[in-house]
Amino acid sequence: MGIFSKEVCIICEKDVGLSRTRIADGKCICPSCFKEAGFDKLNNITKPIKQMTVEDIRNAIIAQKVNKSDLDSFNPTKRIGNYVEFDDNNKKWLILSSILGKRNKSTVYEYSDIVDFELLEDGESVSSGGLGRALVGGALFGGAGAIVGGVTGKKKTTGICSSLKLKITLKNINNPVVYVNFIETDMKKNGTIYKNAYKMAHECLSVLELICNQQQPSSELTSQQANSSSAADEILKFKQLLDMGVLTPEEFEEKKKELLKI
Ligand SMILES: [Zn+2]
């Protein structure tokens, strides 16, 4: 088909005009449907648009509408710098725009979307945690990181950090990883900007850690409770054996400690 031939948008059926976007099967969408699907925001393009089917576009438009209403009802209870906001009442969170700290173009995520998270400094893992995992790392200024860096990393010996970012893994097939960028250009490690960014990154880690702890499946709790009740039953049996004179008081104490894991 020639460039001047009339084509209609597969979504809204209006004339696509010249700035049409080609999708799968030679179909195309108009600029306003392109925007409505959120493709003007890079993080919403989960695969090449040329490969997207009509179904993909429709789903993207629905997701954008849902996100818009999530944004409208988003009411932050905690904000970390110009980086992240948390809405503890709705159990939602979002990453702010890195330039002005605005949220109008952010994607709203659920607390339960978080699988794990990792703080990366110049590509190296500084600290990590997640569902069912305890927070590891989290070295303080001049701590273990500085010693390791002195041996292995050239950048660390020069006292410059060029990238500090938090990688968050989500339960989302289309968009499984998001980043919070705290530092994106060379910063002196003894400078205020680095120290502030580092502090906020760690504050963010603490909040994510708390969220993940709250998200622990309840089945784990019930199995813990089941374990403790069966331990109590066992102790009761041994107490009977003690009373019957089968066990010595020492043997009973030992069994009790074993069962209570003390
Ligand atoms: Zn259209």
Ligand 1 centre to CA of 11 (Å) is: 5
Ligand 1 centre to CA of 94 (Å) is: 28
Which two three-digit tokens encode residue 226? Answer: 């089941």
pLDDT attached to residue 119 = 95
CA 90 – CA 50 distance, rounded (Å): 36
- Write the pLDDT tens digit of every residue in 138-158: 544 433 444 343 334 444 567
Ligand 1 centre to CA of 18 (Å) is: 13
Higher pLDDT, 20 or 223: 20
Ligand 1 centre to CA of 69 (Å) is: 21
Higher pLDDT, 48 or 138: 48
pLDDT attached to residue 150 = 37
CA 219 – CA 211 distance, rounded (Å): 17
Q: Which amino acid is at 174?
A: N
- Write the pLDDT tens digit of every residue in 162-210: 999 999 999 987 778 999 999 999 999 999 999 999 999 999 999 999 9
CA 119 – CA 261 distance, rounded (Å): 34
> Hey, where are the domains in the chain?
21-70, 78-214, 218-260
Which two three-digit tokens encode residue 193? Answer: 């900007």
- Write the pLDDT tens digit of every residue in 160-172: 999 999 999 999 8
Ligand 1 centre to CA of 8 (Å) is: 8
CA 82 – CA 105 distance, rounded (Å): 14
Ligand 1 centre to CA of 54 (Å) is: 11
Ligand 1 centre to CA of 156 (Å) is: 51
Average pLDDT over residues 100-117: 91
CA 50 – CA 221 distance, rounded (Å): 47
